[in-house]
């Protein structure tokens, strides 16, 4: 409900999850302008960077990239953004990570 997408990682020493990153746009504000409805982490087989897709009620799909490993303090940058005519509800990468499906409120 805070329009943010955050990355958590389990700490094996404490068996607790710790916040390791937050997706923010170039103006250092929230990832989206309305509720984030889904997040999909891309399988990085064959590519040397991590990709995350987020979609939300603001009718936007955003793809974020991190060329370093997803460690605490890693910087994620907005790599792609597109808008739809209706809220986006679900996004999902293909098993090999080169295709992205998005479902929206217009069926």
3-state secondary structure 93-106: ECCCCCCEEEEECC
Please indicate, yes or no, if residue 73 is contained in any of the structural domains: yes
Are residues 54 and 61 in contact, defined by beta-carbon separation less than 8 angstroms? yes
pLDDT at 25: 75
Q: How confident is the model at residue 67 (pLDDT cuts 50, 70, 90)?
A: low
Distance CA 85, CA 105 (A): 8
- Please give the structure tokens belonging to residue 65: 């990239």
Which domain, by its residues, includes 78?
5-11+26-104
Please indicate, yes or no, if residue 17 is contained in any of the structural domains: no
Please indicate, yes or no, if residue 20 is contained in any of the structural domains: no
Whether residue 70 is predicted with pLDDT greater than 60 in this model: the reply is no
* Structural domains in the chain (count): 1
Please indicate, yes or no, if residue 19 is contained in any of the structural domains: no
Write down the pTM of the prediction.
0.85
pLDDT at 59: 96
Q: What is the pLDDT of residues 44-61, one digit of tens each?
A: 777 777 889 999 999 999
């Amino acid at each position: 409900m805070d329009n943010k997408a955050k990355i958590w990682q389990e700490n094996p020493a404490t068996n607790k999850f710790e916040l390791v990153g937050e997706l923010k746009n170039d103006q250092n504000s929230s990832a989206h302008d309305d509720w984030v409805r889904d997040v999909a982490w891309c399988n990085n087989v064959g590519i040397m960077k991590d990709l995350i897709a987020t979609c939300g009620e603001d009718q936007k799909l955003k793809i974020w990239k991190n060329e370093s490993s997803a460690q605490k303090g890693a910087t994620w940058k907005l790599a792609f953004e597109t808008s739809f005519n209706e809220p986006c509800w679900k996004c999902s990468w293909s098993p090999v990570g080169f295709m992205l499906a998005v479902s929206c409120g217009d069926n």
